[in-house]
Structure 1
């Protein structure tokens, strides 16, 4: 499966890319929503892992662009936020997310969400919180 990780925090981005690729997926990364849109036009992605707050184009704007693209109708979105789940549940865009998770990222939770959205079972060798 082709997955795009979009986060302006390089440490989080690198950790997620390593975690996803260790599960057998192809993974690319983008530093913000604008960078991601360029990659979306060039790639064939099945799942997006998108950070909420980023410069140039935030995660909400990027998610709307992805979900409005007919070529990406089946693509899934994991939305990550540092703002807390309660604050994003009230957003009009909340229904566009297939899953939403809090940051810092709990790797066990992330693996469970990834497994659910890709319909595969993974094992997490390490339990840690990254953020």
Structure 2
């Protein structure tokens, strides 16, 4: 059974780059184009991992993370938070909202894939 990952990213170019990084993983990726879209998709299906952008229209990433953590389905789900801000400046707030890991953008492919391997609920080859 494939692992499911919800990618919440409003920038199409960045989405494409991340999808390229995830192409060699066992993840079935579903895309949300903003925070509200991400919340709605997360309510319809339960994902193994959620990858959330920081600054998005309709609902920013911090509020999305908080909303996910407030849902019983996502209390233990790994959430990776991506930001164009300096990660150290946003890390405390993102973790307080419920993010497991904060990554700076542009993402480093090796770092992203390594973190996903660490956090995955099942073995990822």
Tell me whether the two structures share a fold, i.e. TM-score over 0.5: yes
What corresponds to 1:31 in structure 2? 33
What corresponds to 2:115 in structure 1? 113
Count of aligned pairs between the two proteins: 121
Q: How many angstroms does 1:108 deviate by?
A: 1.0
Structure 1 residues without counterparts, runs of 5 or longer? 123-131
What corresponds to 1:129 in structure 2? none
Q: How many angstroms does 1:121 deviate by?
A: 5.3
What corresponds to 2:74 in structure 1? 72
Q: How many angstroms does 1:84 deviate by?
A: 0.6
Structure 2 residues without counterparts, runs of 5 or longer? none
What corresponds to 2:95 in structure 1? 94
Instruction: Provide the secondary structure at the position in 2 that maps to 1:56.
Output: coil
Q: Residue 50 of structure 1: which of 42, 52, 62 is its match?
A: 52
Q: How many angstroms does 1:15 deviate by?
A: 2.2
Is 1:16 matched up with 2:18? yes
Write out per-residue CA displacement over residues 18-54 of structure 1, whole angstroms, 9 at most, x where no aligned residue. Answer: 3224211111011111011111111121110000001
Instruction: Provide the secondary structure at the position in 2 that maps to 1:83.
Output: coil
* TM-score for the superposition, normalised by structure 2: 0.88
CA distance in 2, matches of 1:99, 1:80: 9
Alignment RMSD, CA only? 1.5
Instruction: Provide the secondary structure at the position in 2 that maps to 1:36.
Output: helix
Instruction: Provide the secondary structure at the position in 2 that maps to 1:17.
Output: helix
Would you identify which runs of 4 or more consecutive aligned residues in structure 1 move more than 6 Å? none
